[in-house]
Structure 1
Amino acid sequence: MSTSFGEWQLDDPTDDPQDDSFKLPSDHNPSSPSDSDSASTSSYGYRSPSIRKTMRETYCDIRHEFDVWHVNKSVKKKLVNAANKKENQDLQTWLKSISNHLYWSCSSSHGDGEECVRRWKSLLHHIVGIHRWEEDGEQHTCHHAPLTDDEQRRKRWMKVDSPAYKSLKSIVLDKNLLRDLKQMALFKHTGPLEVFHSSMLKYTQKRLHFSYDAMLARTQLAVMDHNANIGKEQAKTKEGQPRFACAYSKASRQWTARPVYERGEQPFRKNMMEDTLRMRDESSIEDWPPSSPSQEETSEEHCSCPPA
């Protein structure tokens, strides 16, 4: 088994959206994924022309969506590079807000690609302190609550003619990004799949080689471990307050508070040991691996000649 550069996640509309457990039906046929409504692609090849063409021609009944996290990562990288320039220092304070705005644009457009693009482009108005504007003969407003005079005065709004705003505008209106946003309106992401891949590394390290039986057993262990730790609650302090850990990003030069969850458990281990000991005491258990038949038995089994 090897890792691939592209990841696929098929989203079944009948599944519980809160259930991230790993499931694979016994009759699953990769060549016939027509039972799913959408497919999200991620990793390095999310803009791959070959994947686009395959989804458009071979799987035309499936709506092809892009992973929001990977697109946001690409946009954030461009923003950080632009903000690191001396003339674009005003962009530094807006990096986190711009990233959040991209997530909001995708999550609130309810599958409408054009609306997703329009909400993303509204950033260019809000960031200069304009919260009501006209576009294509229609009036539009920001979706946030009205700002007080004090809030409007304290905000570090950009200037339309500043180098920082011009750099931001070139990133926001990038034609490839606007095209991709139309395939992000369902707010799909492969986060749960990547969490499972991360848990697999504990059992199937990439630097080690495993036989087929070992790889199969270790993958099954990873699946049980992953499913046993779905939906963990956020850890709490002695006072009963939710726990957070502060992380500093060198790229954005900002601190972020991330929730700390309860430690994972493996209750299946005890059950496996009990079953192993019980099966060991049973005399009906066959040896593993099964012994290979002798050469004479094989010859007699395949001989078509009648006995003398």
Structure 2
Amino acid sequence: MADQIVQVSESTSSAAMELIGFQRGLEKLDYLGVKVGLIATDRSPSIKKLMKSEKYHGVLHEFDAWHVGKNVKKKLLAEGIKASNRPLQPWIKAINNHLYWSCEMSAGDPEKCVNQWKSLVHHICGVHRWEEGNVEHTCQHREYTAEEQRKKKWLTTDSSAFRVVQSIVLDPNILRDIKQMSHFKHTGSLEVFHSTMLKYTPKRIHFFYDSMLARTMLAVIDHNLNVGREKGTTKTGKEKLKIQFSKASHRYVVKYQFEDTQQLPFRLELLDRVKELSKEEPLVRQEEMGKKKFPRGNIAKEPRPDLDVLMSQVSHRFSHQKK
């Protein structure tokens, strides 16, 4: 939907632009007859409110697990640097992993997703069997040996670190959001597209509407042709791997190498098509296409004054001093 471009002059902020673009995208899909059953987004309050409206009553709205996990991890890191909460630090990565596991294993059941997430407050204290609502619950991991149980740095229920974890895990806002994560959907592909967009429309350069439209279309073609690439293989048929330092985890990780992206073929094809069209039909000037095709607007919400008027309003440093 590259033709759904929002100009800053159409809204009051970038957040408002996001909502307008989101609505236009859904309306375009509806116009094309595309049935939308589920949408995954970040936790934008405006989009959250929109999806709760009667208009989109039949569409499931899910949150991306990464955005929620990032928020949880940020809170844990902020509390973990305090001296009284140092025992919390070794658990931060495991807590974040547990969030992903809870979403992945819930199989679309919101209540199951929440219950699996809440089980964390028992596990971190070394309790793997507990009763809740007259029902016995157990952790889903394998049973620890006596030695493993003894060596694990469990938190105690009377510690400051445990109270911090408990307050974050059982935060009503977090629990409400986790109910909308039971299908374990991600917006990673959209982030990849945004990265491709920056290649065609770098933020440091201003583009007019017609140029922005064309460049966005190029980014869409580029993304669609290169999405879903297979993992690269060596001459012996083994999967290509690379060691990369992760800024997020501050450690080296192993990642798969995928096949190289292809941009040249489709660009050459477009050039050939342009040459063919230039011979068949006369080129149309931008002025002849009409202003409605390329809407422009000033960011300012009031008409531009004359230079003389602005100069008369300038306050000089010594203008009010007595001579």
* TM-score calculated relative to the size of structure 1: 0.76
Match of 1:300 in 2: none
Verify: 1:128 aligned to 2:129, yes or no.
no
Identity across the alignment (%): 45
Match of 1:270 in 2: 268
Q: 1:179 aligns with which of 176, 179, 188?
A: 176
Match of 1:60 in 2: 57
Match of 2:245 in 1: 247
Match of 1:298 in 2: none
Within 2, Cα distance between the matches of 1:269 and 1:33? Answer: 30
User: What letter matches 2:154 in structure 1?
Assistant: W
Within 1, Cα distance between the matches of 2:76 and 2:288? Answer: 63
- Change in Cα spacing, 1:276 to 1:108, as seen in structure 2 (3 Å) is same
Within 2, Cα distance between the matches of 1:2 and 1:175? Answer: 36
Match of 1:28 in 2: 29
Within 2, Cα distance between the matches of 1:187 and 1:82? Answer: 27
SS in 1 for 2:136: strand
State whether residues 40 and 61 of structure 2, in contact with CA within 8 Å, keep that contact through their aligned partners in structure 1.
yes
SS in 2 for 1:182: helix
- Change in Cα spacing, 1:231 to 1:237, as seen in structure 2 (3 Å) is same
SS in 1 for 2:41: strand
Verify: 1:289 aligned to 2:281, yes or no.
no
Within 1, Cα distance between the matches of 2:59 and 2:231? Answer: 36
User: What letter matches 1:88 in structure 2?
Assistant: N
Deviation at 1:69, TM superposition (A): 1.3
Within 2, Cα distance between the matches of 1:226 and 1:129? Answer: 47
- Change in Cα spacing, 1:89 to 1:234, as seen in structure 2 (3 Å) is farther
SS in 2 for 1:64: strand
Within 2, Cα distance between the matches of 1:203 and 1:275? Answer: 20
State whether residues 8 and 40 of structure 1, in contact with CA within 8 Å, keep that contact through their aligned partners in structure 2.
no
State whether residues 240 and 257 of structure 2, in contact with CA within 8 Å, keep that contact through their aligned partners in structure 1.
no
Within 1, Cα distance between the matches of 2:59 and 2:188? Answer: 20
Verify: 1:101 aligned to 2:102, yes or no.
no
State whether residues 130 and 138 of structure 2, in contact with CA within 8 Å, keep that contact through their aligned partners in structure 1.
yes
Match of 1:20 in 2: none
SS in 1 for 2:183: coil
Match of 1:257 in 2: 253
State whether residues 203 and 219 of structure 1, in contact with CA within 8 Å, keep that contact through their aligned partners in structure 2.
yes
Verify: 1:157 aligned to 2:158, yes or no.
no
User: What letter matches 1:261 in structure 2?
Assistant: Q
Within 2, Cα distance between the matches of 1:260 and 1:137? Answer: 47
Match of 1:301 in 2: none
Deviation at 1:149, TM superposition (A): 2.7
Deviation at 1:27, TM superposition (A): 6.2
Where does 1:66-215 land on structure 2 (aligned, <5 Å)? 66-215=63-212
- Change in Cα spacing, 1:76 to 1:137, as seen in structure 2 (3 Å) is same
Q: 1:230 aligns with which of 217, 227, 230?
A: 227
Q: Gapped runs of 5+ residues in structure 2?
A: 1-5, 9-13, 290-323
State whether residues 239 and 256 of structure 2, in contact with CA within 8 Å, keep that contact through their aligned partners in structure 1.
no
1:226-285 CA-partner distances (Å, limit 9, x unpaired):
1122123445678845423332447x6x425151433322131232344445x27x7423
Within 1, Cα distance between the matches of 2:270 and 2:231? Answer: 28
Within 2, Cα distance between the matches of 1:146 and 1:41? Answer: 37
State whether residues 235 and 242 of structure 1, in contact with CA within 8 Å, keep that contact through their aligned partners in structure 2.
yes
Match of 2:316 in 1: none
Question: How many equivalent pairs are there?
Answer: 271
Within 1, Cα distance between the matches of 2:170 and 2:27? Answer: 45
Within 1, Cα distance between the matches of 2:155 and 2:62? Answer: 33
Within 2, Cα distance between the matches of 1:51 and 1:290? Answer: 35
* TM-score calculated relative to the size of structure 2: 0.73
Within 2, Cα distance between the matches of 1:137 and 1:41? Answer: 37
User: What letter matches 1:148 in structure 2?
Assistant: T
State whether residues 9 and 41 of structure 1, in contact with CA within 8 Å, keep that contact through their aligned partners in structure 2.
no
Deviation at 1:54, TM superposition (A): 2.8
- Change in Cα spacing, 1:173 to 1:28, as seen in structure 2 (3 Å) is closer
Deviation at 1:155, TM superposition (A): 2.1
User: What letter matches 1:203 in structure 2?
Assistant: Y
Match of 2:37 in 1: 37
